[in-house]
Amino acid sequence: MYKGKHMLSVTPKRVIKPFALLVSLILLVAGLTSTTIAFLVDSPEPVTNNFQYDKVACSVNEEFEDGMVVKRDVSVQNTGTTEAYIRAKVVATWQDKDGNIAAEVPVENADYTITYNTENGWFQKDGYWYCKTKVAAGTATPLLIGECRSVYGKGPANCHLVVEILADAIQANPDRAVQQAWGVTVSNGQITE
């Protein structure tokens, strides 16, 4: 018989608690994982992104008379989807019937006359005509040119006068876009002279 000393015995309670905790954690992680996988598999079809960028574009509106000898009522249409600032450059050349450009340059008020509408919201700077105000999508600027007329009998032989309006548009918002691109100043929503 063994007297005076006690043996340490391991009771089932001390072994079961850590084991039960470990099994519970494994079951919890397995349950969360299976729930996440089930959610991902059962989700509806992906949503299509219908986001579209704004478009900035413009085109020149003009009317002709006398077989293209007189150009009148020239404005620029904002054909984009957002407000824009618009500028235009007027380029006059002599061209033959095939579109070849002559070396001689037409002279305003000698070879042709042109009436600008400077009191109608436009100003000239560095060879461009700037529309002072923003132009809403789908609308046109005020008239830039009332009338442009060739002086009969002027120009090189076998050539006719061609006056082209080259227009640019740039988004109106933010103001810094037009200020950086065109080197102009915008104040209270208008390009200033």
Closest listed residue to residue 138, CA positions, set 74, 63, 73, 57: 57
Across residues 32-49, what is the average pLDDT? 72
Does residue 46 form part of some domain? Answer: no
121-150 pLDDT per residue, tens: 999 999 999 999 999 999 999 999 999 988
pLDDT of residue 15: 58
**Residue 7 pLDDT greater than 60, yes or no:** no
When pLDDT is cut at 50, 70 and 90, the band that residue 51 belongs to is: confident
153-185 pLDDT per residue, tens: 788 888 888 999 999 999 999 999 999 999 999
Average pLDDT over the chain, rounded to an integer = 86
Does residue 20 form part of some domain? Answer: no
Does residue 32 form part of some domain? Answer: no
ω before 142 within 30° of 0 (cis)? no
Does residue 11 form part of some domain? Answer: no
**pTM score above 0.75:** no
Number of domains in the chain: 1
pLDDT of residue 183: 92
**Residue 43 pLDDT greater than 70, yes or no:** no
Contacts of 10 by beta carbon, 8 Å cutoff, 6+ apart: none
Does residue 81 form part of some domain? Answer: yes
Does residue 128 form part of some domain? Answer: yes
Domain span including residue 63: 58-192
pLDDT of residue 53: 85
Query: In terms of pLDDT, which residue wins out, 152 or 144?
Result: 144
Is the dihedral angle over the CA atoms 120, 124, 128, 130 positive or is it negative? negative
Using left for φ > 0, alpha for ψ between -120 and 50, and beta otherwise, residue 54 falls in beta
Does residue 19 form part of some domain? Answer: no
Q: What is the 3-state secondary structure (H, E, C) of 97-113?
A: CCCCECCCCCCECCCEE
Is the dihedral angle over the CA atoms 77, 82, 87, 93 positive or is it negative? negative
Does residue 49 form part of some domain? Answer: no
When pLDDT is cut at 50, 70 and 90, the band that residue 6 belongs to is: low
